[in-house]
Structure 1
Amino acid sequence: MQPIEIYTSPLCGFCHAAKRLLNAKGVSFTEHDVARMPDKRKEMLSRANGRHTVPQIFVGQTHVGGYDDMAALDRAGKLDALING
C-alpha cells in the first residue's frame, strides 16, 4: 500500500470530505495541518507545483490534487489501484 499524505486546514470542507473518503476506504493517511504548521504550507506549495489550495493529496510520489481530483479517480475506479501500488 502506498503512503498517503494530505495537506489540510481545519475549516476546509473539502479537506473533511477527502478524509471521509479515505476513512471509508479504510486506508491510513498522514495529515499535515498547514494552518498550524507554516513550514508544511511551504512544503505543500513546493510538492504541488505552486497549488496553494487545500486539500492537496499525495499517494506515494503521485500528486493526486484536491478532493475533486481524488473523487474523480475513485468514480473512475482508479483510486484503489493507485493506493495499492
Structure 2
Amino acid sequence: MAEVTLYGSDHCPYCVRAELLLRSRGCHTINKIMVDRDPQPLAEMMARTGRRTVPQIFIGPRHIGGYDDLSRIPGSELDMLLAAPPAP
C-alpha cells in the first residue's frame, strides 16, 4: 500500500471527508500532519504544495491536492494509486 500523507486541521470538515474517502478505499494507515497545532508543519506544507488550505493530500510522492481533487479521481485509478508499493 502506498504511503498516504494528509495535512489537515482539527476543525476541517473536508479533512474528515478526505480521510473517510481514503479509508473507504482500503487505506487504513494515513500519516496525518495537523497544521493548526504548530507553525512548522504549515510552513512545510506550503513549501511542498504552494498552497495554504487544508487538506493537502499526498499518495506516495504524488501531490493529489485537496478533498475536491481527491474525490474527482475515478475509483479504479484511486485504487491503483493506493495499491502502489511504498517508495524505497
Amino acid at match of 1:38: P
Which string of whole-angstrom CA distances, capped at 9 and with x for unpartnered residues, describes residues 9-68 of structure 1?
1111111100111122231110000001211111100111x1110000001100000001
Tell me the TM-score normalized by structure 1. Answer: 0.90
CA–CA distance in structure 2, aligned partners of residues 4 and 33 of structure 1: 14
Q: Give the number of equivalent residue pairs.
A: 83
Tell me the TM-score normalized by structure 2. Answer: 0.87
RMSD across aligned positions (CA)? 1.1
1:81, distance to aligned residue in structure 2 (A): 0.7
Change (3 A) 1:76 1:21: closer
Q: Aligned runs of 1:1-85 on 2, under 5 Å?
A: 1-27=1-27, 28-48=29-49, 50-73=50-73, 75=74, 77-85=76-84
| Structure 1: gaps of 5 or more residues | none
| Structure 2: gaps of 5 or more residues | none
Runs of 4+ in 1 over 6 A off after TM superposition: none
